[in-house]
């Protein structure tokens, strides 16, 4: 096939013609950037947001609950496989998002009459477009619930007096309670909240944008504000864990200090120290396994909160805290507590490992001393055995010589009986030195042969 084939003008080449085969994850990773697009919100609008923990909640349960909405009989389970779904209903939209630990439901509808900037503590749920009891039936446990009102109004000039003129009606909208407020987008819009749970179980947020704000920008503003509050609450889930873990860490640190002191003073046996250290190490490792994920998740959620606050590009409103300042003063100490607990747990695990190494060194030294003592005993035993062997050898030489002399005595007696002029006792006595020397010499030669180094084949 020629290598210079031209693709006809206007036709996009197929993948198998222009590129190598796709990686199995290429399309999924490429489309991840579009996985959770921002909503388009036409102002004025009411956004009812609920986030629930989805531990033990299956995707099938959430699908069955979404099918209870009007006109969703044809909704299939496959449509929930992407962890994001936007349902366009008659006059409102519902966005479903499933995350690792929680699922978010966002209902965007027209702002009910009488709920605008001139209202005082307006009731918003009475005009909710979802069926009665649908919110209460969402599977899971509520972690965040927010009523976000977004409306348009002329914003005041950047002077304290002019801004106070808008803060009055905005604060009355919250029932006169203290609010946290800031100009977002570098001064483009206002965002206000009281960060309080109302009897309905919801928090309230108010966003005031100038006329002409696009639906896309309104969607981005709502997404950032709702994510800030959701991830703030998810980050704070690590705080009770850190507080509950603190007594355990204190007790473990005290026990480790006591073990280290015993190790230093040599007042306790190695076996007892080892038993205590193994028990402590097991408790520390169990605490690490139980809490590492929560501490890591807290760091991740806190990082998202920090990023979303930076994206708001806040400017202060005289007389009020900005959202970023409120978070810095209220959230940062909690995050510092969680971080300190995580660091204590990691440090404790490392200290237990170092103490284990010290104990192992001490055991090795004791074992080496015992081995030296045992080797000395073996050496002493070998010396005694050698002495005993030398004594036995001496006795053996005497015994062998005695039997040889006895044989020679019998031999000389036989010769005398045969008529030879021999005195048997005199002959045997004369042979004793020679026999002793011959036996001793033979023994030495046998020892030399046994102790000679073996020759390689």
> What percent of the chain clears pLDDT 90, i.e. is strictly above it?
47
CB-neighbour burial class of residue 380 (10 A; exposed 0-12, middle 13-18, buried 19+): exposed
SS3 content of the chain, % helix, strand, coil (to 5): 55, 15, 30
**What mean pLDDT comes out for the span 354-381?**
81
Summary mean pLDDT of the chain: 86
**Measured CA angle at 250 (ends 245, 251), to 5 deg:** 100
Alpha-carbon distance of 274 to 363, in angstroms, equals: 10
**Measured CA angle at 142 (ends 140, 143), to 5 deg:** 125
Question: SS3 string of 414-457?
Answer: HHHHCCCCCCHHHHHHHHHHHHHHHHHHHHHHHHHHHHCCCCCC
- Please name which of 19, 50, 33 lies closest in space to residue 141, comparing C-alpha atoms: 50
Q: How many CB atoms lie within 10 A of CB 104?
A: 21
> What percent of the chain clears pLDDT 70, i.e. is strictly above it?
92
Radius of gyration of the chain (CA): 47
141-152 and 102-110 strand pairing: unpaired
> What DSSP character marks residue 126?
G
Q: Is the pLDDT of residue 355 over 80?
A: yes
Q: Is the pLDDT of residue 150 over 90?
A: yes
Alpha-carbon distance of 187 to 316, in angstroms, equals: 9
Report which of residues 399 and 333 the model is more confident about.
Answer: 333
In this structure, of 90-104, 206-220, 223-237, 397-411, the range with the lowest mean pLDDT score is 397-411
Q: Is the pLDDT of residue 213 over 90?
A: yes
CA 402 → CA 209, 307, 413, distances in Å?
129, 107, 16
HSE, side-chain direction, 13 A CA sphere, residue 377 = 6
Note the pLDDT of residue 292: 92
Note the pLDDT of residue 439: 77
**Which residue is listed with tokens 């003129």?**
165
**What mean pLDDT comes out for the span 131-148?**
94
**What mean pLDDT comes out for the span 126-143?**
92
- The H or E element spanning position 181 is strand 180-184
Alpha-carbon distance of 447 to 3, in angstroms, equals: 90
- Residue 98 bridge partners (DSSP): 103
Q: Is the pLDDT of residue 237 over 50?
A: yes
pLDDT tens-digit series, residues 249-294: 999 999 999 888 888 787 778 788 888 888 999 999 999 999 999 9
Note the pLDDT of residue 369: 78
Note the pLDDT of residue 4: 45
15 falls in which pLDDT band (50, 70, 90)?
low
Note the pLDDT of residue 328: 86
Note the pLDDT of residue 453: 66
Q: How many CB atoms lie within 10 A of CB 111?
A: 18
Token pair belonging to 50:
């609920």
Token pair belonging to 157:
């000039």
**What mean pLDDT comes out for the span 145-166?**
90
Note the pLDDT of residue 372: 82
Token pair belonging to 249:
């860490």
HSE, side-chain direction, 13 A CA sphere, residue 304 = 19
HSE, side-chain direction, 13 A CA sphere, residue 323 = 32
57 falls in which pLDDT band (50, 70, 90)?
very high
394 falls in which pLDDT band (50, 70, 90)?
low
Q: Is the pLDDT of residue 302 over 90?
A: yes
141-152 and 203-209 strand pairing: parallel
End-to-end alpha carbon distance in the chain: 70
Note the pLDDT of residue 308: 94
- Please name which of 192, 219, 204 lies closest in space to residue 316, comparing C-alpha atoms: 192
Note the pLDDT of residue 35: 66
Report which of residues 418 and 85 the model is more confident about.
Answer: 85
- Residue 85 bridge partners (DSSP): 96
Note the pLDDT of residue 7: 44
Q: Is the pLDDT of residue 300 over 80?
A: yes
CB-neighbour burial class of residue 56 (10 A; exposed 0-12, middle 13-18, buried 19+): exposed
- Please name which of 179, 184, 191 lies closest in space to residue 150, comparing C-alpha atoms: 191
| CB burial readout 168-202, b (16+ within 10 A) else e | eebbebbeeeebbbbbbbeeebbbbbbbeeeeeeb
- Specify the pTM: 0.76
Token pair belonging to 193:
């909240």
429-434 long-range CB contacts below 8 Å, 24 or more apart? 431/405, 432/401, 432/405
Cβ atoms 103, 57 nearer than 8 A: yes
pLDDT tens-digit series, residues 67-114: 999 889 899 999 998 888 999 888 789 999 999 999 999 999 999 988
| CB burial readout 344-370, b (16+ within 10 A) else e | bbeebeebbeebbeebeeeeeeeeeee
Alpha-carbon distance of 148 to 142, in angstroms, equals: 17
CA 73 → CA 68, 69, 162, 213, distances in Å?
8, 8, 52, 35
């Amino acid at each position: 096939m020629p290598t210079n084939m031209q693709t006809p003008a206007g036709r996009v080449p197929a993948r198998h013609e222009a590129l190598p085969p796709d990686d199995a994850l290429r399309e999924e990773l490429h489309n991840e950037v579009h996985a959770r697009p921002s909503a388009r919100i036409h102002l004025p609008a009411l956004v009812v947001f609920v986030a629930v923990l989805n531990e033990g909640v299956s995707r099938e349960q959430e699908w069955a609950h979404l099918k209870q909405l009007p006109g969703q009989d044809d909704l299939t389970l496959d449509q929930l496989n992407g962890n994001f779904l936007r349902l366009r209903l008659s006059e409102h939209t519902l966005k479903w998002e499933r995350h690792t630990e929680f699922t978010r439901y966002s209902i965007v509808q027209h702002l009910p009459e009488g709920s605008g900037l001139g209202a005082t503590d307006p009731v918003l749920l009475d005009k909710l477009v979802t069926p009665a009891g649908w919110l209460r039936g969402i599977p899971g446990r509520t972690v965040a619930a927010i009523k976000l009102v977004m409306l348009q109004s002329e914003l005041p000039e950047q002077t304290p007096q002019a801004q106070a003129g808008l803060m009055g009606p905005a604060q009355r909208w919250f029932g006169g309670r203290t609010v946290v407020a800031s100009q977002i987008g570098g001064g483009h819009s206002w965002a206000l909240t009281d960060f309080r749970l109302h009897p309905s179980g919801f928090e309230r947020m108010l966003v005031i944008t100038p006329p002409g704000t696009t639906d896309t920008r309104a969607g981005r503003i709502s997404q950032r504000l709702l994510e800030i509050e959701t991830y703030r609450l998810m980050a704070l889930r690590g705080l009770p864990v850190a507080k509950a873990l603190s007594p355990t860490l204190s007790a473990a640190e005290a026990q480790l200090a006591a073990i280290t002191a015993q190790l230093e003073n040599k007042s306790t046996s190695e076996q007892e120290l080892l038993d205590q250290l193994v028990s402590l190490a097991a408790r520390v490792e169990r605490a690490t396994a139980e809490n590492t994920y929560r501490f890591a998740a807290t760091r991740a959620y806190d990082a998202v909160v920090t990023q979303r606050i930076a994206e708001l590009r806040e400017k202060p409103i005289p007389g009020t805290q900005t959202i970023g300042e409120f978070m810095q003063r209220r959230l940062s100490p909690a995050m510092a507590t969680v971080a300190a607990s995580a660091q204590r747990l990691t440090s404790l695990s490392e200290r237990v490992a170092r103490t284990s190494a010290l104990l192992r060194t001490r055991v090795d030294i004791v074992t080496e001393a015992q081995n030296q003592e045992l080797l000395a005993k073996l050496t002493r035993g070998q010396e005694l055995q050698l002495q005993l062997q030398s004594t036995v050898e001496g006795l053996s030489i005497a015994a062998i010589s005695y039997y040889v002399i006895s044989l020679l005595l019998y031999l000389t007696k036989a010769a005398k009986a045969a008529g030879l002029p021999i005195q048997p006792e005199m002959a045997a006595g004369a042979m004793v030195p020679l026999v002793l020397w011959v036996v001793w010499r033979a023994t030495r030669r046998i020892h030399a042969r046994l102790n000679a180094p073996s020759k390689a084949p």
